[in-house]
Amino acid sequence: DGGITQSPKYLFRKEGQNVTLSCEQNLNHDAMYWYRQDPGQGLRLIYYSQIVNDFQKGDIAEGYSVSREKKESFPLTVTSAQKNPTAFYLCASSSSAGKLFFGSGTQLSVL
Amino acid sequence: AQSVSQHNHHVILSEAASLELGCNYSYGGTVNLFWYVQYPGQHLQLLLKYFSGDPLVKGIKGFEAEFIKSKFSFNLRKPSVQWSDTAEYFCAVNAGNRDDKIIFGKGTRLHILP
């Protein structure tokens, strides 16, 4: 089946630790996105990538990093600099601006 | 910078009532506009989109939205809601240039009473 695969479903981070969230797509889409979803805040854009080896900051990029070494993969690292990392993280991809296909998300919590 | 405002955070309606959810965006250039829906326990999915042409666009499940350029608005409507429309609805905007950046509003939780 074609789609977006995010892993893990649940992730726990200790103080001072970096954690990486995986996002893989087999839809052959050029653009990929990371959003953070908090109750009452909607989806806030962290990073997006329009092409391999290129990515742009979204509105809340501080404390996060990404890479786009392959078209299929767009991992997100939540660094220790992110002081409020507890949230639901959604990855998405798009072949043309607008129609996003979303993964099932990763819930990140701090221990 | 682009931004999206959704006026209603939580809406409660009875079945068969008419629905209108407000969405305003701030961007001076050409825009692409979207409504996404997230049903309980499901992924976000596209409800409808506007790129150009007829400003009244129809989507799935009887939803429609009207783009009013002078008001920077893209309100979502449905003449008669059903209990199954209970979900969270998100308006989103993309600057109609070659940038794929897509910004979402904070969402509106719609609760339909049976």
A80 and A64 Cβ atoms separated by less than 8 Å: no
Q: Given the DSSP bridges, would you call strands B31-38 and B44-50 parallel, antiparallel or unpaired? A: antiparallel
Q: What are the chain A neighbours of B9 within 8 Å (beta carbons)?
A: 40
Mean pLDDT of B102-113: 95
- H-helix or E-strand spanning residue A110: strand A106-110
CB contact under 8 A, B103 and A59: yes
Q: Has residue A2 got a pLDDT over 80? A: no
CB contact under 8 A, B90 and A43: yes
Mean pLDDT of A66-87: 95
Phi-psi region of A3 (alpha: psi -120 to 50; beta: other; left: phi over 0): left
Q: What are the chain A neighbours of B40 within 8 Å (beta carbons)?
A: none
CB contact under 8 A, B46 and A104: no
State the CB neighbour count (10 A cutoff) for residue A97. Answer: 21
Distance from CA of A81 to the nearest CA of B (A): 24
Q: Has residue B96 got a pLDDT over 80? A: no
Q: Has residue A104 got a pLDDT over 80? A: yes
- What would the pLDDT profile of B10-27 be if each residue is shown by its tens digit? 999 999 999 999 999 998
pLDDT at B95: 81
